[in-house]
Structure 1
Amino acid sequence: MKSLDYPVRSRTGRDGGYSLGESSNLPPLQFDDEEAVAIAVSLSTASRQGRGQSVSGGVQVATDSARIKLERMLPTRLRRRYHRLVQSIEAGPDPDPGGEAGLPDTEVLLELSDACADHQALSFIHVKRDGSRTLRRVQPHKLVTMSGYWYLVAFDSDRDDWRSFKVERISSVKHRHERFEPQALDAWSFVTQSFAEARYRFSATVTFEISAQQLRSKHHGTIFGVVTELTHQRCEVRLSADALDLVVEYLCALLSVDADFQIAADREVLNRLEAIRARLGTVG
């Protein structure tokens, strides 16, 4: 182990023995198949999302370099499935890049990505938010990663409509040996729109005295909410999330637009905005 630059410490006596110590150099690391794929996928996802966000050049270069090195070292039996997984992922500007939910079960991800690549129908058990379990039969389309979570976007055969499923709630994946023609869909936009239209714990509605088109042109980045045109010079944006901080973050980004507005929101949201206004009043 010393020849591989692993720091080995020895201790004599009755309770003596050998143990790994710290080192100024990073020794070679050994990963099993699941660990290797998990790290490679995480690096690939971080690399793709970093290009669309304010990630420093040094961090971006280091991420890309580590990803390329690991991809080259993947065994042949893993490399093809890994590349199919990466090709099945759609990523965009993350509304909460600090999310730390982590990677779901690697084998489940690989099964889903194989089906996406092969346009093969699936069935699986899905656990809903209330804890109930349902059997779903779907035509898988893409995997989306957002805020540390992974989602499968698929056409639900039983409900005859598109759905998104949190991957960590999926188990017992089975291929149905049934092929389908893929349909065109922006999976990442579908997931963000689904979030925006859903009712979560905290909500806010902002009415702007400009058109929806003017709002989109004045706002830099993605609007994480449902934009509704009210008149040719008036529009409304509805925001909703389980995390109070996330709703406030969305609002602050929206309110940076140079336009008159009115806000209707939950009391907790308004209190947080008032606290921010008070802090800004001390500036200067």
Structure 2
Amino acid sequence: MADTTTRALSLLNLLQTHRHWPGSELAVRLGVTERTVRRDVERLRDLGYRIESIPGAAGGYRLEAGSAVPPLLLTDEEAVAMAIGLRVAASQRLVSGPETTITALAKLEQVLPAPLRRRVAALAQTVQPAGLNAGAAVSGEVLGELALATRDHERVRFTYTAASGEVTHRRVEPHALAPADRHWYLLCWDLDKEDWRTFRVDRLTDVAHTRVLFEPKPLTPEQIEEFIFVARSWARQAVEADAVMELPLDEMRDYFGQWGQGATAEDATHTRWPVGGSDFRETMYGLSWIPAGVDYTTDLTSPAREELRETLERMLRALDAPAPPVPPDRALARERQLPA
């Protein structure tokens, strides 16, 4: 009996660590036959765990929410309290290791029955930690679903509403969930765009699991951080313009890296790149990063266009004019710094 119980708990742990398990792989992991796996699944079902069986060559087992809380040694009230605490901690970033918080929340809500999940959602909306400036409201259910898909390397579909109001339907391979500036971001490989994309989770709805697994592309923590940093900077600016440069899109992306997001091919030899800032100076700074020797045009509008022209003309006059005399004390200091 002890061996049977231990094996059943091991099976439950495996089912909780991945969204979907082939029966043959479970048998190998547990060191038993597939027939024994089927018997252990029935034992867990008798204990209240709802485990879906999927027939066929790509079939297997999947842990689903049941009609009652399985024996986690928690009462309904305790389970709700834990889920609310995890939701608040995740959305407000009250603890370090936010991915751990989200994964724990996803595991708990995965087995909560629907009535308790509704209680958690209703109560969590009324619980706001004091002294914190909350970002945009994020659905705990959406965060949980994305966390599970990211953990299991499962493709998902969702609806995304951009800051401009444009609504699109996306098919992606989720790679990372990261909080930044009171917002949550999803970094993923967009299957239709065939490129990396970063999405604000609060603008994302209708998450649908496809049950199609993928092999994650290699990304370093530094690369993930850069993607998120670019996404945080990618917001509507007071002064915006497009620069059309004499550079093919592929070469432009190689040069700009993640800062090339939003660039599109104007034709085979030209790339259109949106650039902007809080004023014309920040826009000028962005334009200054276009590679040396690459000609470009821009549709920067007035009055920023005239302000930028006047600033550049003064800079050119300053560069063409004789250098101002160096004060004696500074000249002496420079002489002392020169090598003998």
The two structures have a TM-score, normalised by structure 1, of 0.43
Structure with larger Rg: 2
The higher-RCO structure (CA 8 Å, 6+ apart) is 1
Which structure shows the bigger proportion of residues in helix conformation?
Answer: 2
The two structures have a TM-score, normalised by structure 2, of 0.36
Which structure shows the bigger proportion of residues in strand conformation?
Answer: 1
